[in-house]
Structures are given as structure tokens and as C-alpha cells.
């Protein structure tokens, strides 16, 4: 079968892509909703909304058009579309708005135990509504980060906005994040004779995205030494 992308709709291209580019890592992104709409933009989270662990302050949403792109400086990239339904249909998603206005965000790598929460957090909510509050997800402080992290995620990255581009006929926001700190649960780190960080993928059990309603878990590890 050959699928001619020049002769199908954008929606058809999307569904073909997400079922072909698999499996995809999931960026589970926490951002600060700020105070009431119309608040002044700031590079720091809005302290007027209360405690850093107040769940009502935060948005949490999954994105699978996501990858690392550079190590010097350490950068990751995620692609954020617009809201597809609801009273705010056609507006930028809260994640993009919050990153543009407040700069800081936390990218989590969720494990398979969080499948239901990841899936539920993909629901479209009005700006200011909190998935963390709705799903009752526990937060903990993230050292030297003005935002917390989701307690049960084995990996989390504190990022700030490095660059934001807009592309496409139905404008999509490309967010480049500068990674300042990486949290890895101690149970996921194993000693390595070279002294380099070694994260045990079997301990992480990362959740991956497929097409439609499908996700996948990590299966058997395959090993191949890099050629010299």
C-alpha cells in the first residue's frame, strides 16, 4: 500500500503519521496556569495563586510529538496543537499559553502505572481548570525549580522556554525547552563501571504512545554493541 499524502486531508495524514511513527515517547508537561485570565505575563510562576503544591495552580497534559534534539545546550522539543473542541475550540492549548507567559515547565516521563492518569489528562478543559486537581495527583517540590513535579513519575526535567516557533497551515506551536535539571528516581539508577549515569529502563517502565487509543509498555530488551 502507498498512501499519497498530496491527495488526502490533513486529518487523514495525521492518523497515518501517528500510527506509523511508533512508538513515541510521551512528554507529560506540567505548567503554571497563573492567576485569573488577563494577568500580567511573567518569567516566574505567579505566587499569588498560593502554595507551590496547590494543585489548582497547574496544568498537566501529554504530548507525543516530542523528543530530545541537542545536548549543548541541552534542549528538548514538543509540538503543541490547538484545542479541538469545547468552548475554547481553536485557541492555543493551555500548555503553550503557560509556557509562553511564564517560561518554566516540567516534563515528566510517565511509567505504565500512570496510563489512566496520562489518558485522562488529555481531556480538553477550559483554561485555568487543573487536571492535577481533578485527578488528585500528588505533587512534591522539585529542587531549585519554581514548579513542583508529579511524585509518581520516575523521571522529570525542569525546563525553561528557549524558543517558540509556529508552523503549518493550521498553526502548530513548536516549543524548544532548555533543560536545567533532571530528576531520576533512585530505584531507576544502576552503577556503571565507566562512572557514567546509567538509567535502568526496566525500572522506569516508560509508557509509549501508538495510534488511536493504543499505548504500549516496554517489552524484552534487545542488545547490540555499537560498532567501533
The answer to whether residue 162 is domain-embedded is yes
Residue 34 clears pLDDT 90, i.e. is over it: no
- Please indicate, yes or no, if residue 226 is contained in any of the structural domains: no
- Mean predicted confidence (pLDDT) in 75-84: 92
Rounded CA-CA distance 224/79 in Å is: 31
CA 85 – CA 102 distance, rounded (Å): 25
Within 21-158, residue ranges assigned H as helices are: 94-102, 115-120, 131-135
Question: Is residue 224 domain-resident?
Answer: no
- What lies within 8 Å, CB to CB, of 159 at 6+ separation is 76, 104, 105, 106, 107, 177, 178, 179, 180
Residue 118 φ then ψ, to 5°: -60, -45
Host domain of residue 101: 5-216
Could you tell me if residue 222 is inside a domain? no
Decide if 228 is inside a domain. Answer: no
Question: What CATH number is attached to the domain comprising 122?
Answer: 2.30.110.10
Question: Which of the four pLDDT bands, split at 50, 70 and 90, describes residue 3?
Answer: very high
Query: pTM above the 0.85 mark?
Result: yes
Q: To the nearest whole number, what is the mean pLDDT of the chain?
A: 90
Could you tell me if 149 and 156 are in contact, meaning their C-beta atoms sit under 8 angstroms apart? yes
- For residues 140-157, average pLDDT: 97
Give the model's pLDDT for residue 42: 43
For 47-79, the pLDDT digits (tens) are: 444 588 999 999 999 999 999 999 999 999 999
Please tell me the total count of domains within the chain. Answer: 1
227 domain-assigned: no
Q: Identify whether 49 is part of a domain.
A: yes
Window from 84-88, 181-185, 199-203, 223-227 with minimum mean pLDDT: 84-88
pLDDT at 88: 75
133 against 87, higher pLDDT: 133
73 lies in some domain: yes
Alpha-carbon distance of 86 to 123, in angstroms, equals 10
Q: Is the pLDDT of residue 106 over 90?
A: yes
Would you state the pLDDT for residue 41? 38
Query: Minimum mean pLDDT among 44-53, 87-96, 114-123, 216-225: which range?
Result: 44-53
Amino acid at each position: 500500500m502507498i498512501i499519497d499524502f498530496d491527495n488526502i486531508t490533513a486529518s487523514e495524514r495525521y492518523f497515518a503519521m501517528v500510527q506509523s511513527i511508533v512508538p513515541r515517547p510521551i512528554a507529560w508537561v506540567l505548567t503554571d496556569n497563573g492567576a485569573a485570565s488577563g494577568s500580567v505575563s511573567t518569567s516566574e510562576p505567579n505566587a499569588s495563586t498560593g502554595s507551590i503544591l496547590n494543585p489548582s495552580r497547574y496544568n498537566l497534559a501529554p504530548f507525543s510529538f516530542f523528543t530530545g534534539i541537542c545536548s549543548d545546550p541541552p534542549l528538548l522539543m514538543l509540538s503543541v496543537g490547538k484545542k479541538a473542541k469545547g468552548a475554547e475550540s481553536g485557541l492555543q492549548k493551555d500548555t503553550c499559553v503557560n509556557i509562553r507567559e511564564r517560561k518554566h515547565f516540567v516534563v515528566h516521563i510517565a511509567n505504565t502505572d500512570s496510563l489512566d492518569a496520562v489518558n485522562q489528562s488529555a481531556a480538553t478543559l477550559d483554561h485555568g481548570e487543573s487536571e492535577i486537581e481533578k485527578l488528585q495527583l500528588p505533587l512534591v517540590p522539585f529542587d531549585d525549580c519554581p514548579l513542583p513535579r508529579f511524585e509518581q513519575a520516575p523521571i522529570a526535567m525542569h525546563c525553561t522556554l528557549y524558543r517558540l516557533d509556529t508552523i503549518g497551515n493550521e498553526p502548530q506551536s513548536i516549543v524548544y525547552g532548555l533543560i536545567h535539571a533532571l530528576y531520576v528516581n533512585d530505584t531507576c539508577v544502576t552503577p556503571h563501571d565507566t562512572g557514567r549515569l546509567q538509567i535502568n529502563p526496566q525500572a522506569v517502565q516508560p509508557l509509549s504512545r501508538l495510534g488511536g487509543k493504543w499505548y504500549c509498555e516496554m517489552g524484552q530488551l534487545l542488545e547490540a554493541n555499537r560498532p567501533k
